[in-house]
Chains A and B, each alone.
Chain A
């Protein structure tokens, strides 16, 4: 899912899609794809929307960006010296600027192969073990298995017993043992499209609720690292983790 509105977290003045905000000189989207590729998942469908051409151009020029090149300006000839690239197949769809996430998933349907696919949001980083997530999905046999993680926000949950004179306890949301949030990484079976026919809502709430009603969704508990990258603060934090050399989502070797 990479179609959302412009991001305020990038320093680009003209706005870029949030998944294209850079960490360590590479787009967030690249980091996500690189993690999946470590599990052998290298066939991607990018549901783009806002400024989809920025995403298209990035992948069209990917190996040119990664390789050393010589441009003969007058002949308009490009020589690639050492082709550096990734063995990925990347389909990029323009799924509209204002579409809901459920609508975007529907538009990807014609390009899917096989029974199961993964839906992942282009603005979250994690070290979810994708093999275990897929195993768990196969075992449960439901339409969807959603990875759930501990909330990361700075909000504090207040257990208010008496509103007029606060009594109760205030604890950071991440410390609440039974609070889990959707980690925006879901394994989905193609049977979902029957449920999506009349749906326009968001994938992670409306669709999930409907599946829950018909007992077709399981949770996969992820205790490790998970973080949405929504604000400049989040991005700076990820940048620091990257520079420290201990970014938890970096499960690959250079």
Chain B
């Protein structure tokens, strides 16, 4: 089953980093966030990816074109230009990189990769969010729903600490650090789709999350998978630092479990 990853946006909220490289190539612990997402899917045996490229897409292509040499031990004979691979331990990934345009909205990007999707079902996620979403249970949920789409939802960690105030005295009763339960459910990608979804994309001039999702919901074709574990976007430099800190502890929640 193919995994489609949106990687074409400009990432204006993380402009300090994204002027140099597209957001999916921003690194956590020396590896692009895109790699982390792919490695998570790969840990469940999903190794075929379709990357929707846009902003600075050629850098993403270059990353995967250079992947083999960058991650192997090599010996180069400068005189002949020949190269010998001494050892390699490269991921068994097949990565399809598709130019989906600079300013294209997500449903348009999805339309442009359709020709590379085989089978009736595929998965989709965003190239800027990591989590420990249980992919097999997501798919189980998708198949038991029997709907065209099942999207993962979570209650993200709040950005602010909550305070409970007594009605009687007006005094602070307690603090709760970044309360998670207070948040509403949000869409985090990690979705499973039937190819029927292509009938909902219209002319491709909208965000997937606007009209197409609205229409799917109206038709009763939109299922939900509730993810209670870890998930974080990388929207800002602060998020990047947070994820980097988690990675450096050695047991980041989205890290592939040891084989």
Mostly, the B contact residues are mixed
Residue A73 at the B interface, CB < 8 A? yes
CB-based nearest B residue for A78: B65
Question: Residue of A at shortest CB range from B97?
Answer: A69
Q: Indicate whether A225 reaches chain B with its CB closer than 8 angstroms.
A: no
B20 adjacent to chain A (CB < 8 Å): yes
With known contacts A25-B102, A69-B97, A64–B92 Cβ distance under 8 A: no
8 Å CB contacts to A: which residues of B183-226?
none
A72 to B96, CA, bound (A): 9
If the complex has contacts A25-B55, A68-B98, A68-B99, are A74 and B93 also in contact, measured as CB distance less than 8 A? yes
Residue in A12, A61, A72 with the greatest tally of chain B CB atoms within 10 Å:
A72
Number of A-B contacts (CB under 8 A): 61
Chain B 67-79, CB-CB to A under 8 Å as 1, else 0, gives 1110000000000
Chain B, 216-243, CB within 8 A of any chain A CB: none
The answer to whether A68 and B96 touch across the interface, beta carbons within 8 angstroms, is yes
From A24, A69, A73, contact of B67 by CB (8 A): A73
Interface size class of A (residues with CB under 8 A): 20 to 34
Residue A169 interfacial (CB < 8 Å): no
- A71 touching B102 by the CB < 8 A rule? no
Assembled-state Cα–Cα distance A65/B63 (Å): 12
Question: Does B172 belong to the interface (CB within 8 Å)?
Answer: no
Give the nearest-CB partner of A12 in chain B: B20
Query: Does B99 lie within 8 Å of A66, measured CB to CB?
Result: yes
Contact B67 A64 (CB under 8 A): no
Q: B68 to A13, Cβ gap below 8 A?
A: no
Task: Please report A residues at the B interface, Cβ cutoff 8 Å.
Answer: 11-13, 24-25, 61, 64-74, 76, 78, 81
| Residues of chain B having any CB pair with chain A under 8 Å | 19-20, 55-58, 61-62, 64-65, 67-69, 88, 90-99, 102, 116
